[in-house]
């Protein structure tokens, strides 16, 4: 199967549809632009709430979940919501189409701990050209924001592997003037910049794609790309900081038998993102050198 150009990572294990990405507010602002109190209710399915209890097998040595698990929760909530709206991966397959995640942006305020219950709110936000945006808020038991995010999705034709216009049935489900979890002030719509020429990477780690990395579409799960990207962050940062900002762009598919090389480099000095330490992550397919994903992360 020929991978479609510049649009990889078929929906991961969470078959979530939805969303175009935006940007994010400064970490000090506690969700100023989001008020869904009157937007959701039994008669309005356009805003979905999904509750998760943090399990012991999901936490690390410090007893809290990783950024990857937070992304898992967000996408699981989106997948459940898509199914309720009649827009699941299976529903699109019947029409010869599929959702593909193009970009995921997440701002983490804190990491939930084992035994804690968190609730994800998710809702569609809009259509921009060929991309569909979905936003997320993760709230703790006290109602405070744990994380916020936005994602961009495209619909592809399964036969041609090319993007298609968002179906009118999808666009018709958009709320009027929806709130935004991320306000666009930091990031814009471009992928993370390449490091300056000659910049030496902190690490370059090869990962052989295993069967366990695959989703139901036999493509690498998109959160696995994040796993590989974060693995190369220098030890001194890993031991003293946590990811506060993740902006990941998916560029091409990879499958069982591929080897992906994850390069972690210092971010250019003029990059704006939350966190004291910032890195650019470039993932390439060893067989042909093609870039399959690129990310910008900020750590604090």
Q: Where are the domains of the chain?
A: 203-299
Confidence at residue 187, expressed as pLDDT on a 0 to 100 scale = 62
pLDDT tens for each residue of 87-127: 777 888 888 888 889 999 999 999 999 999 999 999 998 88
Contact 263, 200 (CB under 8 A): no
Report field, pTM of the whole predicted structure over 0.85: no
CA–CA separation, 54 and 117 (whole Å)? 6
CA–CA separation, 77 and 71 (whole Å)? 10
Q: Which three-class secondary structure state does DSSP give residue 35? A: coil
Contact 63, 116 (CB under 8 A): no
- What are the φ/ψ torsions at residue 220 (nearest 5 degrees)? -65, 130
Confidence at residue 186, expressed as pLDDT on a 0 to 100 scale = 65
Query: CB within 8 A of 48, min separation 6: which ones?
Result: 40, 77, 80, 81, 84, 121, 122, 123
Contact 146, 110 (CB under 8 A): yes
- Assign a CATH topology to domain 203-299: Thiol Ester Dehydrase; Chain A (3.10.129)
CA–chain centroid gap for 286, Å, is 23
Q: Which segments within 233-276 are labelled E, that is strand?
A: 243-250, 259-266
Confidence at residue 1, expressed as pLDDT on a 0 to 100 scale = 36
Per-residue pLDDT of the chain (300 residues; tens, 9 = 90+): 333 333 333 333 333 333 333 333 333 333 334 554 444 433 467 889 999 999 999 999 999 999 999 999 999 999 899 888 887 778 888 888 888 899 999 999 999 999 999 999 999 988 888 889 999 999 999 999 999 999 999 988 888 888 888 878 777 777 778 889 987 776 666 778 887 778 899 999 999 999 999 987 678 999 999 999 999 999 999 999 999 999 999 999 899 999 999 999 999 888 878 888 999 999 999 999 999 999 999 999
CA–CA separation, 168 and 39 (whole Å)? 22
- Read off the tokens for 203: 């690490």
Specify burial of residue 294 (Cβ count, 10 A radius: 0-12, 13-18, 19+): buried
CA–chain centroid gap for 259, Å, is 22
Confidence at residue 44, expressed as pLDDT on a 0 to 100 scale = 62
Q: How many CB atoms lie under 10 A from the CB of residue 255?
A: 15
Confidence at residue 13, expressed as pLDDT on a 0 to 100 scale = 35
CA–CA separation, 115 and 55 (whole Å)? 6
């Amino acid at each position: 199967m020929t991978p479609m150009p510049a649009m990889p990572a078929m929906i991961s294990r969470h078959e979530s549809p939805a969303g175009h990405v935006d940007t994010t507010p400064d970490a000090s602002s506690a969700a100023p632009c989001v008020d869904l109190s009157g937007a959701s209710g039994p008669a309005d399915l356009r805003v979905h709430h999904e509750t998760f209890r943090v399990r012991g097998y999901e936490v690390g040595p410090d007893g809290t979940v990783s950024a990857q698990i937070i992304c898992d929760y967000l996408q699981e909530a989106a997948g459940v919501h898509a199914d309720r709206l009649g827009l699941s991966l299976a529903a699109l397959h019947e029409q010869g189409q599929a959702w593909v995640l193009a970009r995921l942006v997440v701002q983490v305020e804190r990491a939930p701990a084992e035994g804690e219950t968190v609730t994800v709110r998710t809702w569609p936000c809009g259509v921009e050209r060929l991309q569909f945006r979905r936003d997320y808020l993760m709230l703790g038991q006290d109602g405070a924001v744990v994380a916020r995010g936005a994602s961009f999705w495209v619909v592809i034709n399964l036969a041609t592997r090319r993007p298609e216009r968002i179906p009118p049935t999808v666009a018709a489900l958009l709320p009027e003037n929806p709130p935004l979890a991320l306000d666009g002030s930091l990031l814009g719509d471009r992928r993370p910049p390449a490091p300056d020429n000659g910049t030496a990477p902190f690490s370059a780690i090869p990962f052989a794609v295993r069967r366990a990395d695959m989703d139901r579409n036999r493509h690498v799960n998109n959160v696995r790309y994040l796993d590989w990207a974060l693995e190369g962050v220098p030890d001194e940062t890993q031991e003293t900081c946590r990811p506060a900002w993740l902006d990941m762009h998916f560029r091409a598919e990879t499958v069982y038998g591929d080897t992906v090389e994850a390069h972690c480099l210092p971010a250019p000095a003029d990059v704006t993102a939350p966190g004291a330490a910032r890195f650019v992550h470039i993932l390439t397919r060893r067989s042909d050198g093609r870039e399959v994903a690129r990310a910008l992360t900020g750590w604090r």
